[in-house]
A and B are shown apart, each in its own frame.
Chain A
Amino acid sequence: MSTADATVDEDVEVRGPQMDVLRRFIAGDLAELRVLLALALIWIVFYIAEPRFMSSVNLSNLVLQMTAVGLVSIGIVHVLLLGEIDLSVGAVSGLCASIMAVLSVKHGWSPYLAIAAAVAAGAAIGLFQGSVFTRFAVPSFVVTLAGLLAWPGAQLKVLGETGTINLNDPKILGLTGTFYSDTVGWIMAFVAIAAYAAITLRSRQSRASQGLSTPPFGLVVGRIVLVAVATLIAVWVLNDDRGVPLAALILVGFCLMFFYMTTRTTFGRHIFAVGGNAEAARRAGINVNRVRVIVFVLASTMAAIGGIMAASRLLAVNQSSGAGDFLLLAIAGPVIAGTSLFGGRGSVWHALLGALVITSISNGMDLLALDTSVKFIVTGAVLLLAVVIDAIARRQRQAAGRV
């Protein structure tokens, strides 16, 4: 049956519920499985080329490296879900990190106030960009492109003549320099696994009690086991080095928070609706522009938080903070992991998964001491490949759905 055929006489009634669960599992989860396989392949290749890649020290470093870009990507996922783009997140991260550094080092503000001011500045920038985008119906691409050009100028102003500010506040440096003891790491792992298992099983139970279809019990248990094994291995590797870093908890914590928001709340539902069909959302009574502005505020706020983490890790802020490929990696990550550029499809976890893939490639090539030129070309090729695979998969999914 051809995919161009918009109306088909046969309906999809022949499938049983079991088939549908299986089909959804394949259509929904296989995309992520594909990325996980690609990640495994990347790791194997780098391991063969340089065994130190899989050492616990390097894998711990990998986690620390991916934190900043992963946090920025969380905001980007929301923007992509709307079918929009935010090109200013790199510049915003640099500006906000600079604001924090100046307030902390030059003005002696408490670290909490300095961080709060930087985050508030990010939110204000998002409010401004989102308002211009919705009020004047300027494409988000152009509004944020203007931000990409303008905010680095503001960053130079904020930093002043010195250009580089070395951070010295232990609280700010501790954001990426804190590691938990082995025992605390294990306790957190088991609490997380128990919570995941409890939530998953309870959700299945409440569906069953209302007579709704439930996923096969084996599948549910399989997922819990998979999550448990992955968590335990991660904690084991991290404990083998310095322990579970606070930075990883911050990244996972934000992912959990926004995952809940996008999938379990009315507002999250409205983000998907606006991204899928803005006109339908408007007619359903959703304030489309309000959703858009809030998402742009979220994106800039997450950019500020990512910038703060990057500054903490580099122990300094300078004129090129947030510049270079930081922005494009933050956008490429979720896209590689399967979030659609056309809106309405994606997951907050793609921010984490994408950051892991992108950072693995960059980290591995650093270990192999490859030239920057090679790094850029390889990263670009991976992004292109991921987008092409996603486009093919989407076409297949549509074909399968229509027949």
Chain B
Amino acid sequence: MNANGSAPVLSLKGVSKSFGPVQALSDVDFDVHSGEVVALVGDNGAGKSTLVKTIAGIHSPDSGTISFEGQDVHITNPADAVDLGIATVYQDLALCDNLDVVENLFLGREERSGGPVGVVAPLDEVGMEKQTGELLENLAVTITDVRAEVGTMSGGQRQQVAIARSLLGEPKLVMLDEPTAALGVRQTAQVLALVKRLRERGYGVVVISHNLADVFEVADRIYVLRLGREAGDFKAGEASQEEVVGAITGAGASGNGGGKR
């Protein structure tokens, strides 16, 4: 399944957002298709995080429309976004270090086995552990012991756990904020491989990254923000690193779809 021809799962039209005198986003159009990895790049303060937080329901846009799966939607809080099927993995991952992988994955949506009703019903540990194993295997994530505390794991494994957790809600769109920041070479490769598997499974994926090498390895499309405006929308196979850097810094020519200044 690929982006070409199909309707986008997420589509933003003319979205603007300001914080007081600061114009964080100006008239941004942004599409993501199912089975597509869109890299969101730009310098610090370019509006990447604001854009992601707007989609995730943390900020409401001042103007413009957001449509999800063809329907116009109003995302006013994070729960709205989650209910629509938008999962976001922030840089701080929000994992509990003292809990194991299973406990973290099912945190806030624990499953109970039968027996006594209500709050005294025992947790279905066996069932949750089994599902965890299946999910991780499905994603080809190698974690030997799903009962090991997350705090004892490497940064790459923690990132993979956080991504796996975001998939439990069966989202359509997954947004990853700097998933490879502060990771070593091998762990970065593992996380990027996981991002590719998300694409294979038909998720729409948005990746914020500073690392252009990672971006070129994993992205189908590279969307550049500069000073809150779209500064380029490149097909990954057709753009050179210089062009993208030029769009980020504003030094060179803009990309094929961009240049709305």
Contact = CB atoms under 8 A, between A and B. Distances in A.
Contacts of A269: 99, 103, 107, 110, 123
Contacts of A338: none
A280 B97 CA distance: 10
Given A280-B94, A344-B96, A8 B154 contact: yes
A401 interface: yes
Nearest to B188: A9
Interface stretch (B22-30, B142-150, B216-224): B142-150
B147 A10 contact: no
B179 interface: no
A210 interface: yes
A157 interface: no
B119 A265 contact: yes
Contacts of A397: 152
Interface residues of B, number: 42
A279 B98 contact: no
Nearest to B106: A269
B126 A206 contact: yes
Contact of B152 (A12, A264, A272, A279): A12
A212 interface: yes
Interface residues of A, number: 44
B108 A7 contact: no
Contacts of B110: 266, 269
A61 interface: no
B154 A7 contact: yes
Interface string A383-403: 000000000000001101110
Interface string B100-114: 000100011110100
A265 B152 contact: no
Given A12-B153, A285-B109, A272 B145 contact: no
A174 interface: no
A286 B110 CA distance: 11
A11 B107 contact: no
B133 A15 contact: no
Nearest to A208: B126
Interface in B181-214: 182-187
Contacts of B156: 11
Nearest to B108: A284
Contacts of B123: 264-266, 269
Contacts of B99: 269, 272-273, 276
B151 interface: yes
A160 interface: no
Nearest to B145: A20
A212 B130 CA distance: 7
Contact of B151 (A207, A284, A401): A401
Given A15-B144, A284-B107, A401-B149, A266 B182 contact: no
Contacts of B45: none
A210 B96 contact: no
Contacts of B133: 212
Contacts of B97: 276-277, 344
Residue of A7, A20, A264, A277 with most chain B CB atoms under a 10 A cut-off? A277
A9 B151 contact: no
Nearest to A342: B98
B7 interface: no
A12 B144 contact: yes
Contacts of A13: 142, 144
Interface in A257-281: 260, 264-267, 269, 272-273, 275-277, 279-281
A6 interface: yes
B257 to A, nearest CB: 34
Contact of A6 (B96, B108, B112, B155): B155
B107 A280 contact: yes
A15 B145 contact: yes
A285 B153 CA distance: 24
Interface string A278-321: 01110111100000000000000000000000000000000000
Interface in A346-403: 397-398, 400-402
A275 B129 CA distance: 22
A345 interface: yes
Q: Choose among A273, A284, A345 the residue with the greatest number of B CB atoms under 10 Å from its CB.
A: A284
A253 interface: no
A6 B98 contact: no
Contacts of B103: 269, 272-273
A17 interface: yes
Contacts of B78: 283
Contacts of A223: none
A6 B182 contact: yes
B189 to A, nearest CB: 11
B259 interface: no
A14 to B, nearest CB: 8
Nearest to B147: A24
Interface in B154-179: 154-157
A344 B104 CA distance: 13
A230 B153 CA distance: 36
Nearest to B97: A276
Given A11-B187, A12-B157, A20 B120 contact: no
A11 B126 contact: no
Contacts of A211: 130
A286 B94 CA distance: 13
Contacts of A401: 148-149, 151-153
Contacts of A260: 122
B94 A24 contact: no
B170 to A, nearest CB: 16
Contact of B184 (A9, A213, A400): A9
A40 B258 CA distance: 75
Contacts of B119: 265-267
Interface of A: 6-13, 15-17, 20, 24, 206-207, 210-213, 260, 264-267, 269, 272-273, 275-277, 279-281, 283-286, 344-345, 397-398, 400-402
11 contacts: A6-B155, A7-B183, A11-B154, A24-B148, A210-B129, A213-B147, A267-B119, A273-B103, A279-B94, A401-B149, A401-B151
